[in-house]
Amino acid sequence: MGYNVTDIIHGEGNQAMLVHGRGEVCYRGPTTFLGYFKEPEMTAKTIDKDGWVYTGDIGVWTTDGRLKIIDRKKNLFKLSQAEYVAPEKVENVLQLSPLVTSAFVYGDSLHDSLVAVVVPDASAIANLASTMNVKGTIEDWCKTPEINEHVLQDIQRVSEAEGLFGFETVKAIHLEPVPFSIENGLITPTFKLKRHAATKVYSLEIDAMYAPLSNTEFINK
């Protein structure tokens, strides 16, 4: 799938873990199910002719022989330079910044870099605004260029410290004062980010973030 043979992921406690090889997790054996009832097309997509079941999970083998699931295949996207990105992996790193509560990382085949919608930690952003002598509310702080730049720099600092590759490093952010939630349609009942919904909701912000980085306009799909 275009992955590097070695990589770094984050395990329990967010510690860095060197891994060897990653890709879609497949399995087969005597307990493998035979297929979906009266769904031959779905069965063909899931089980190949040799009996391998394709789970749709992206996994890595750690150096101590453990299998670690890092994302869903459907969440992967390819940048314009052909690098594959697992957005959840990048989002987990961004959330290591004390300034960040949650994040939505976006990229596509028209661009060679990542951008992100970032929900800042309310308390941390208030302290930052006070230090920078910026008045107002969290909505005002999220619109302040100096604060945006400070958060971006901290995100990039953490990304470098945690071993992300250059193409996995976010190049621009939009600060969102309203947390992602089930109520606003951006989180599932199991607290997973709805990426397609987030892409639609933040299409204008994605355009604005990419504008200084390239001349290619974002196409809302």
Domains of the chain, each with CATH number or no CATH: 6-73 (2.30.38.10), 85-210 (3.30.300.30)
Token pair of 185 as six digits: 């349609």
pLDDT for 211: 93
Length of the chain measured in residues:
221
For strand 114-120 and strand 16-27, is the pairing parallel, antiparallel, or unpaired? unpaired
**What letter would DSSP give residue 12?**
G
Q: Which residue carries 């790193």 as its tokens? A: 93
Question: For residue range 159-176, what is the model confidence (pLDDT) as tens digits?
Answer: 999 989 899 999 999 999
| Rounded distance between C-alpha atoms, residue 32 and residue 26, angstroms | 11
Report the percentage of the chain scoring pLDDT > 70: 84
Report the b/e string of 30-69 with b at 16+ CB within 10 A: eeeeeeeeeeeeeeeebbeeeeebeeeebbbeeeeeeebe
Report the b/e string of 122-139 with b at 16+ CB within 10 A: eebbeebbeeeeeeeeee
> Does 204 score more than 90 pLDDT?
yes
> Does 47 score more than 80 pLDDT?
yes
Question: For residue range 137-159, what is the model confidence (pLDDT) as tens digits?
Answer: 999 999 999 999 999 999 999 99
Q: Which of these, 104, 98, 89, 136, lies nearest to 120 by C-alpha position?
A: 98
pLDDT for 217: 47
Higher pLDDT, 59 or 13: 59
Query: Hey, what amino acid is at 168?
Result: E
